[in-house]
Amino acid sequence: MPSPKYVPKEFLIDPADFGRKGETQWVTPNDTWSRERRGRLRAAQLQHHVAHAVRAKFLKNPKAPIRKMSQLADALEIRYGKLQPMLAGDTVMQLEDLGRLLDHFGHWLEPALLTEDASKIAEVIKLGRAQAAERGRPSRVAPPRPPAS
């Protein structure tokens, strides 16, 4: 596997926090940073939010049906050797990987894509569960079906 152009977790003050802690401290960009480097910082933040949501919601949740990284890799049809470093910030998450996560986990993961504050993810997940319970539905929503012709 070719070496990545960058390592997402290296944008954190403490790289071990990548995908593991909601409250994290990021390297602060300065005026000398290129647009490319700033873009990589934003992409790393997005990847961190997604990885944190996956870990908090499923891998660390005693009630979740999937609690092991190997089970998640099987469910996503991604090699464990690709998934683990991606969620740890050692490799760059591709849009296809994000698509697989969204397809598998459903709508609850989408707020992680919209928030800059990872601490809000747990609140959003709880709200989504409450709304789903009010409607009498499971918290995972199937993709919309195409209209019948």
Q: Structurally, how many domains does the chain consist of?
A: 1
For the chain, the average pLDDT equals: 81
Residue 119 clears pLDDT 70, i.e. is over it: no
Supply the pLDDT for residue 5: 84
- The per-residue pLDDT for range 76-110, each reduced to its tens digit, is 999 999 999 999 999 999 999 999 998 888 766 77
In 3D, which of 116, 149, 143, 131 has the Cα closest to residue 45? 116
Is residue 64 within 8 A of residue 57, CB to CB? The reply is: yes
Is residue 93 within 8 A of residue 47, CB to CB? The reply is: yes
- The per-residue pLDDT for range 130-139, each reduced to its tens digit, is 666 676 655 4
Q: How confident is the model at residue 148 (pLDDT cuts 50, 70, 90)?
A: low
In a domain, 82, yes or no: yes
In a domain, 146, yes or no: no
In a domain, 41, yes or no: yes
In a domain, 3, yes or no: no
In a domain, 83, yes or no: yes
Record the tokens describing residue 50, joined without a space. Answer: 């997604």
In 3D, which of 16, 89, 6, 14 has the Cα closest to residue 40? 6
In a domain, 64, yes or no: yes
In a domain, 28, yes or no: yes
Supply the pLDDT for residue 132: 63
- The per-residue pLDDT for range 8-36, each reduced to its tens digit, is 999 999 999 999 998 899 999 999 999 99
Q: Taking the model in full, what pTM does it have?
A: 0.72
Record the tokens describing residue 112, joined without a space. Answer: 């992680």
In a domain, 121, yes or no: yes
Print the domain residue range for 28. 8-134
Q: How confident is the model at residue 143 (pLDDT cuts 50, 70, 90)?
A: very low
**Mean pLDDT, residues 38-58:** 90
